[in-house]
Structure 1
Amino acid sequence: MFTFLFTVTVSLLCAAGLVEGSEVTQTPTILWGPKDSDALMNCSHTKDSSYYQMYWYRQLPGEGMKQVVFITPSSQPDYSGEFSKDKFSASKAVAEIGSFTVKKLEAG
């Protein structure tokens, strides 16, 4: 049985502001999976390599968005507040593509 586990909303930002006039694709848009499994999300954009910063956010039902992690190509993830590498991982080898993993999904 699948249980609602975690919803992640992605926003791709850069020093110049929001990425305007380009396509940002997140797959999947809503994350579902069996308890205790890991779940992977990917993000890509069609801007050039000067748009290299990626921010991943979590939004639980009835709550506002919270930044989970910030990452740039080939850097270590910078986790925000209550979030840590024990529960989440992020990677970004090139400017246009990044990934985000939720470890050991929990019902919630």
Structure 2
Amino acid sequence: VHISLLCYCLTALCLVEGSEVTQIPTILWKLKESDALMNCSHSKDSSYFQMYWYRQLPGEGMKQVVFIIPSSQPDYSGGFSKDKFSASKAVAESGAFTVKKLETGDSGMYFCAVSQHSDTDNKYSCTKTPVFQQDVI
């Protein structure tokens, strides 16, 4: 019997200008068709309330999936939707991102960034999330 798994391996910590940005859990194993939840938080002050989530598929550039601010609806970028991804953010210092119903095409790197402003010059990259499919006998 073959069981298909998608592996989400997360680097635990990024340091940006002396501030910590973390993503947990550090390793998350999920069965194909299940959901994968990623959390991102930072120790910048509450003026860094904007959060961005990105995906980079193998051989492609990084693409913004969603933008969110506290207590608001997520704003999805071109081609991405709430049917496949969800994002939530109740407070300035943290947020969550979910890839729903994992499949092989979800393999790639996932990134979180926070910002004070909506311009791209002031974003602080967080941990990346390598994703790959593995067959287990």
| Counterpart position of 2:34 | 37
Per the TM alignment, residue 21 of structure 1 is displaced from its structure 2 partner at its CA by 2.7
**Aligned residue for 2:47?**
50
| Residue 81 of structure 2 corresponds to residue 95 of structure 1 | no
Unaligned stretches of 5+ residues in structure 2: 11-15, 106-137
Alignment partner, residue 5 of structure 2: 3
Give how far 1:48 is off: 0.8
Change (3 A) 1:44 1:32: same
Distance apart, 1:63 and its partner CA: 1.6
Of 99, 104, 109 in structure 2, the residue corresponding to residue 107 of structure 1 is 104
Supply the distance in 2 between the matched residues of 1:44 and 1:102 (Cα, whole angstroms): 18
The amino acid across from 1:3 in the alignment is L
**TM-score normalized by structure 1?**
0.79
Identity %: 81
- Displacement of 1:52 after TM fit? 0.2
d(CA) in 2 for partners of 1:61, 1:34: 21
Counterpart in 1 of 2:80? 83
Name the CA distance, whole Å, in 1 between partners of 2:55 and 2:29: 14
* TM-score scaled by length of structure 2: 0.63
Tell me if 1:64 matches 2:66: no
Q: What code does the residue aligned with 1:80 have?
A: S
Larger radius of gyration: 2
Kept after mapping to 1: 8 A contact 2:6/2:102: no
Greater fraction of residues in helix: 2
CA RMSD of aligned residues (A): 2.4
Give the drift of 1:26.
1.4
* Amino acid aligned to 2:60: E
Please give the alpha-carbon distance, in whole angstroms, between the structure 1 residues aligned to 2:4 and 2:20.
30
Unaligned 5+ segments in structure 1 are: 9-18
